[in-house]
Amino acid sequence: MEWIYVWILVWVICIIIATILGSRKGMGVSSFFFGLILGPLGVILVHISKGKRVACPFCDKLIYMTSTVCLHCEKEIPVTNTGTK
């Protein structure tokens, strides 16, 4: 019976770690569900994911999709029109 408590504790720790990692990457709620459903595998997936970030066209560092200026090279990011017609 003690093993059940250990697994529950490990799963809760995985949920917490996945949520913290995901919130730093801008994933928030989806990272919580990755940790909840997948446990340790969810933590690994959140850790290796890019989150809501894309590569800067100038320096290739990861920046948030809504950024207008790169935090690394401090160049203005050109706005692309991705609207559908």
pLDDT tens-digit profile of 5-32? 999 999 999 999 999 998 888 887 889 9
pLDDT of residue 40: 92
Beta carbons of 30 and 36 less than 8 angstroms apart? no
| Residue 34 structural domain | 2-50
pLDDT of residue 83: 47
Residues 40, 73, single domain; the answer is no
> Does pTM top 0.85 for this prediction?
no
Residues 31, 65, single domain; the answer is no
What is the DSSP secondary-structure string of 15-75? HHHHHHHHHHTT-THHHHHHHHHHTHHHHHHHHH---SEEE-TTT--EEETT-SB-TTT-P
Domains held by the chain: number:
2
Residues 44, 79, single domain; the answer is no
Q: How far apart are CA 81 and CA 10, in angstroms?
A: 44
β partners of residue 69: 76
Q: How many CA atoms lie within 13 A of 75 on its CB side?
A: 11
Residues 78, 44, single domain; the answer is no
Q: How many CA atoms lie within 13 A of 65 on its CB side?
A: 10
Residues 34, 69, single domain; the answer is no
Residues 14, 46, single domain; the answer is yes
